[in-house]
Structure 1
Amino acid sequence: MSGHLRPGGGTRLPGYPFDSRWFVHDGLRRHYLDEGDPAGAPVLMLHGNPSWSYLWRRLILALRGEHRCVAPDHLGMGLSDKPAQDRYPFTLASRVDDLDALTDHLIAERAAPERGWTLVVHDWGGPIGLAWAARHPGRVARLVVLNSAAFPNPHGPRVRPALRLPFWLLRETRLGERLFLRHHAFARLATLPPFGVRGRLPGEVRAAFLAPDDGHGHRVAVRRFVQDIPLGPADPSWPLLLRAEEGLGAFANRPVLIGWGLRDPVFDPVMLREWRHRLPRAQVHVYPRAGHYVLEDAHDRLVPAITAFLGR
């Protein structure tokens, strides 16, 4: 399948000239990219909600000359299968298990090394990736963090006042369900200023971010990510979030780069301060006019910074 086309449709994906790869586990097909030098040090890029591997297109193009770039689409998102809720649990634990299965496959069947990986995370990629890294403490050599978290919310267990109403609406109510499943409002807003980006995306780029939406199946995954956010010990994913937090200690003396858009309404400067506290030796690049999708708003500075960081 050409990376330029949406399966079953003609939507172009600008800047995404990649060969799709597929991995079947437990009867479900995961889509991923595996670009660049097969013998190069692997760079594993994990997207969050509601994005997909299209987020990484510029970074892959910059790195694939010397690195092996792996970028999966989480189940229910991107070009991966979109199972119903009775077929797949859509939990943090299931996401980490998926990543384990894929990386084990790459190591056993596609000659990827067991060590020397760089982990690049954004949004939900943080808890997924760091919980996975905690299972394999010697596998990840370097870490790149972009507007994400892998620890309990430093604001405390209660949602901040400015976010309380929309969070409750989207997570708990029938109206929120309609907004997710019928109108795909969360993903659409994430591609508009001032929510996910601060600068307006070109129309074809915004369309590409939304292209994998095939209706109800894709939208279930987007909503389940929101419902699975662990706010406290009563939430099912809380223990695994703590495991991800514990795993951060392994990176205290490893190379870390943090790239942060300061205009993110969720992953705000308090979140960044928490990362600095936990990883005080990290190289930090702050972009005051960039939002949540920092790789869209600040790609002209952030992609070269990551490239230089990995070239050291």
Structure 2
Amino acid sequence: MDGGPREHRLDTPEGEICWFEWGEPSPGRASLLLLHATGFHARLWDRVVAALPAGTHVVAPDHLGHGRSAKPASLSDWAATSDALLPLVDRLTGSPLVGCGHSMGGYVLTRLAARRPAAFRHLVLVDPVIMEPALYDEAAGQPVPDPAGHPVARRRARWDGWEAMNAHFAQRPPYTHWQPEVLADYCRFGLLPAAEGEGFDLACPPALEASVYLNALRTSPYRWLEDMVAPVSVIRARTGERTSALDFSVSPTWPGLGDALGAVRDEQWSEHSHFIPMEAPERLAALLADLL
């Protein structure tokens, strides 16, 4: 689909949400809502959008704390991060929504679809990092470690420009498996002018990103999954033994999720890692186009 997006801002009780829009809504035609993963931003969907049919109406927000949206000190509750997007969903009531969420974006999508069931026509959960129920039960009431001690908090935050960031990551997994154009989008739109000094800072501050990871099991989505009414498609990456909580070469999603949700599609794209939208944007776009 040709043409760049229009950038919008929306005031919400949790802070300003930045969102991007391609195309125009059309009565009787579904719109596409795209939700990104932890530490990323809305413009990582650019290559998926480019592969959609011309005229498709697409909306992609930056989650709270990410991209160009408001930056709280931490993100301690994924449910609250989800609810920050409810005002945006409420703006899109003129057309039925096909929602597609990757990783944390898939978790967020389930919450939105449960809170606004009439808004959604279909949900596509792309490796949505929803774990088996017992893990949420085990984590309940446990203290959350200081984000400063998490390895993500030690990520390099300051760069001279997106080109330097791109050159650095192009030599490192998992980015070596991404399509080069997607990596360029990640770097180009993933930096903001530094608030102090020269250069550019990551649009998702490392300590804030670390707080997202540390709170992944804080709120069980099984509290609301049964409130969803739209058909669900689950797409999972290859399976295997994860070497750490940050090993995304294989799927972190519970293999039984599709059955638990009564998914109409439960597929494993075994040739891909967790970063399916970055490795196979055209394939994902084809699936979404069929649903639209």
Q: What interval of TM-score do these two structures reach, taking the shorter chain for normalisation?
A: 0.7 to 0.9
Whether the 8 Å contact between 1:50 and 1:190 is mirrored in structure 2 is no
Identity %: 19
Residue 280 (structure 2) pairs with residue 298 (structure 1): yes
Greater length-normalized contact order (CA 8 Å, ≥ 6 residues apart)? 2
Q: 1:275 aligns with which of 249, 253, 257?
A: 257
Question: Contact 2:147–2:211 (CA<8 Å) still a contact in 1?
Answer: no
Structure 1 or 2: more helix by fraction: 1
Pairing partner for 1:260 from 236, 241, 259 = 236
- What whole-Å deviation, never above 9, does each CA across 1:165-210 have from its counterpart, x for those lacking one? xxx9x95474427x5156359x999987544663574663452364
Give the secondary-structure state (helix, strand or coil) at the position aligned to 2:277.
Answer: helix
Counterparts of 2:287 and 2:121, CA distance in 1: 18
SS of structure 1 residue aligned to 2:72: coil
Q: Partner letter of residue 176 of structure 1? A: H
1:227 to 214, 232, 244: 214
Please say if 1:74 is aligned against 2:63. Answer: yes
| TM-score, scaled to structure 1 | 0.69
Q: Residues of 1 paired with 2:3 and 2:271: CA distance?
A: 25
Tell me, yes or no, if structure 1 residue 92 matches structure 2 residue 95.
no
Match of 1:12 in 2: none
Q: Judge conservation of contact 2:41–2:67 (CA < 8 Å) in 1.
A: yes
Partner of 1:43: 32
Q: Distance in 1 between matches of 2:130 and 2:224?
A: 6
Aligned residue identity for 1:37: E
Unmatched 5+ stretches in structure 2: 159-164, 193-199
Partner-residue secondary structure (3-state), 1:246? helix
RMSD: 3.8
CA-CA distance at 1:279 after TM superposition? 4.3
Whole-Å separation in 2 of the counterparts to 1:197 and 1:275 = 29
Q: CA distance change for structure 1 residues 291 and 209 in 2, over 3 Å: closer, same or farther?
A: farther
Q: What is the aligned residue count?
A: 265
Match of 2:41 in 1: 52
Corresponding residue for residue 17 of structure 1: 4
1:55 Cα offset (Å)? 2.2
Residues 231-246 of structure 1 mapped to structure 2, 5 A cutoff: 235=218, 237-238=219-220, 241-246=221-226
